[in-house]
Amino acid sequence: MEMQMSLMLLSILLPVLIGIRLLIRKEYASRTRLLAVTGTGLVLTGVLAVSAFITARGNSYTLFHLTGTLPIVLAADEMSVLFSCLTVVILLCAGLFSFEYMKHETHEKRYYGFYLIVFGVLNALCFAGNLITFYLFFEMLTLTSMPLVLHNGSREAIMAGLKYLFFSMCGAYMALFGVFVVSRHCDTLAFTAGGVLSAPSGAHTELLLIAAFAMIAGFGVKAGMFPLHAWLPAAHPVAPAPASAVLSAVIVKAGVLAVVRTVYYIFGADFLRGTWVQTVWLILTLITVFMGSMLAYREPVLKKRLAYSTVSQLSYILFGLAVMGAEAVTGSLLHVLAHGLIKTVLFLCAGAIIFTTGRTRVDELRGIGKEMPLTMWCYTIVSLGLIGIPPTGGFISKWYLAIGSLAAAMPVFRWLGPVILLVSALLTAGYLLPLTIRGFLPGADYDYEHLQKREPSPLMTIPIAILTALSVLMGLFPAQLTDWLTRLTGHLM
């Protein structure tokens, strides 16, 4: 038991301590030594996190009490495994990519310091065993990830960082109101599949519904849900590309994890199903899906286009959770993984293009497929996944979302949801595939004589290729994964 708790603690504390060490140390004798320390920290943290959820699954450990009734608890359940696996894979791949990418950025030591600290806080979030522990680390995630947004120190980055902080804090305080309310009506705030809410009297039902909506909307800020989504397209483009990948693939998923814990582990789906909370939540998610896709379609800057895409795709996940049906929730959890892999590849491809060519706008990338064929083939493959074309993981998750919506007992949303998802898929093809078409088919007037092959180094291409392969394998061999997530969803229902 002590060893299992120690593994969870070490997966949190080790990267934080190494990150702090990087921040307070003046300089390293060489860049090689800095990368060796960072790489060792990333690998050890990944091994510890995997060991923790393998050995400690199903167990919980109380570290200490903030007050007599507010324990800080670490636990490993099936949901911890899902989000921890995604965190480890993305942070390791994006970290390896950054070893080459960050050559052209300043303040590398500071970047790697905060990157490692964020890794530790994300692990803590995955292993939080109750609502109080989760909220504590949720706030810490905002504070520790903001320096990644601020990294280049430009006015645009500072304003984006402040917007990220302001929106995140507003959302967190909305959620805190809900925490205050539910703490008065629950015997425990420990995460329990199916919910822990005691049967409320009629006088308290409406207050609890308001609290539930405040928590969903507040935590949904981190996931970019309308109307508090504006921080995301501002913050992602100004951060270094590997940081943008982590923000878009993992950090925003903290908002998704928070909503899952709130709805399915505290209130319970039965309490919220059929209420005005579910109706308003469904409306907000569908608005966000369509709006994000439309804004991405109209955006000329590549990284900002991908940021708007994240706004849309995250609400695919939230829509499935809001349906509160077994197949739709399974689709949401599948899309957590599919989107995480795909969006990391897209941002890393954008970073490789910027690093190699210095171009940032889509209209400047004519012929880029001829110059960087491996990078652009990976971009194209995962783009097909984000659109939802088989045999990629994105198709499997969107299939479950669509059939889950059609099977739900919701008079309008059961057909409106799939319609908007299909329209969004068409828009996704409209903002991702033109780069592929113009990249590989630049036209007869393209200057082929001066064409330069300039693929980035293996430190950048290997992580992109690995994540692309995982995305395809998820679509080719989904049976075990979908069976596991179906069983998990059954426990939540």
Task: List pLDDT tens digits, range 221-266.
Answer: 999 898 888 888 888 888 899 999 999 999 999 999 999 999 999 9
Predicted local distance difference test score (pLDDT) of residue 85: 92
89-146: per-residue pLDDT in tens? 999 999 999 999 998 887 889 999 999 999 999 999 999 989 999 999 999 999 999 9
275-305: per-residue pLDDT in tens? 999 999 999 999 999 999 999 999 999 999 9
Nearest-angstrom CA–CA distance, 326 and 407: 10
Q: Is residue 392 part of a domain?
A: yes
Nearest-angstrom CA–CA distance, 402 and 140: 35
When pLDDT is cut at 50, 70 and 90, the band that residue 200 belongs to is: low
Of 52-56, 329-333, 433-437, the one with minimum mean pLDDT is: 52-56
Nearest-angstrom CA–CA distance, 351 and 244: 9
Q: Is residue 241 part of a domain?
A: no
Report which secondary-structure segment, H or E, holds 86: helix 78-101
- Domain count of the chain? 1
Q: Is residue 445 part of a domain?
A: yes
Q: Is residue 433 part of a domain?
A: yes
Could you give the dihedral angle defined by the CA atoms of residues 390, 326, 81 and 208, in that order, rounded to the nearest 10 degrees?
Answer: 130
When pLDDT is cut at 50, 70 and 90, the band that residue 12 belongs to is: very high
Give the domain range for residue 421.
273-493
Looking at the predicted structure, is the pLDDT value of residue 25 above 90?
no
Residue with tokens 């950025």: 105
Q: Is residue 249 part of a domain?
A: no
Q: Is residue 354 part of a domain?
A: yes
Q: Is residue 296 part of a domain?
A: yes
DSSP conformational letter for 393? H
When pLDDT is cut at 50, 70 and 90, the band that residue 202 belongs to is: low
Of 46-55, 56-65, 238-247, 316-325, the one with minimum mean pLDDT is: 56-65
147-159: per-residue pLDDT in tens? 999 988 888 889 9
Q: What percent of the chain has pLDDT over 90?
A: 62
Residue with tokens 């804090």: 169
Predicted local distance difference test score (pLDDT) of residue 199: 62
Nearest-angstrom CA–CA distance, 270 and 486: 18
DSSP conformational letter for 361? B
Q: Is residue 303 part of a domain?
A: yes
